[in-house]
Amino acid sequence: MQAAMENLSKEDLLAMVSDRDRALAERDEKIDYLESQLAMYRRMQFGQKRERFEGDPDQMSLPFDAEPAAAEQQQEEIKEKIEYVRKRPTHKGRAKLPEHLPVEEIEIHPEGDLSDMVCIGKEITEELECEPARFYIKRYIRYKYAAKSGEGVKIAELPDRVIDKGIPGAGLLAMILTDKYVDHLPLYRQKQRFARENIQIPSSTIEGWTKEALIKLHPLYEQLVFDTKAKGYLQVDELRSNHRGLLKQQARDKPR
């Protein structure tokens, strides 16, 4: 070994020394890493609960506790941003509400004694509001009259109904069809809406209502087809697709 090293050149000896120093440095680094891992595992295994996950005491802590002056400056900046967002205009103008909607007026007067004061004007603020669908029972009470002579009994006739001997009214059926075919709300979701109002209606019943309502509307559909064909300009593809879509909806809604 000594003889072999004597035969090496100066460059080879320097390279050998450099490789040895590099290997020693890597070994020391690996030893330090393994020792830190061993210390952590020992602390987790044998240390007290409060010590098991404590960090390295030599590690610098993050500056979560800011100086009072810095915290006050931060609060001022946030306040300025909030005030700017509140004051800046969000739109160029308010959309005008439709005039055909009913109006509910709520008058608000200042609190306190107003006997010595005179009203000099008022400010009006409008908002668009909505009242959810309201279910109610329409009860027909038909009184019976009997002739004093005993020749018979007379009773008023029921008005025309969409479904004979059925409980849904025309308004309810119109809502079901509109929600399903215009707003694309499936019948099972409409059933859930009934259930929220504690109105338990089987799915087959709602499907039967829908079918009967469509049957009653079929003459209107035929009249629309006739009026469309009577025009001078006809879009056949749209007419055919609308007819096919209606037939598919009727097939899907058919009780099984």
Q: State the Cα–Cα distance between residues 121 and 241, nearest whole angstrom.
A: 59
Residue with tokens 């097939």: 251
Residue 54 has pLDDT above 60, yes or no: no
CA 70: distance to chain centroid?
Answer: 40
The model's pTM is: 0.50
DSSP state of 53: T
**Residue ranges of E strands in the chain:** 144-146, 153-155
Q: CB–CB of 255/207 below 8 Å? A: yes
- Cα–Cα distance, 183 to 176 (Å, whole number): 10
Res 207 pLDDT > 90: yes
Average pLDDT of the residues in 24-41: 86
Pick the closest to residue 205 from 174, 167, 162 (CA basis): 167
The tokens describing 187, both together, are: 């019948």
- The DSSP result for 152-200, as a single string, is -EEEPPPPP-SSTT-S--HHHHHHHHHHHHTS---HHHHHHHHHHTT--
Least confident of 96-100, 120-124, 210-214: 96-100
Question: Any idea which residue has 């009860």 for tokens?
Answer: 139
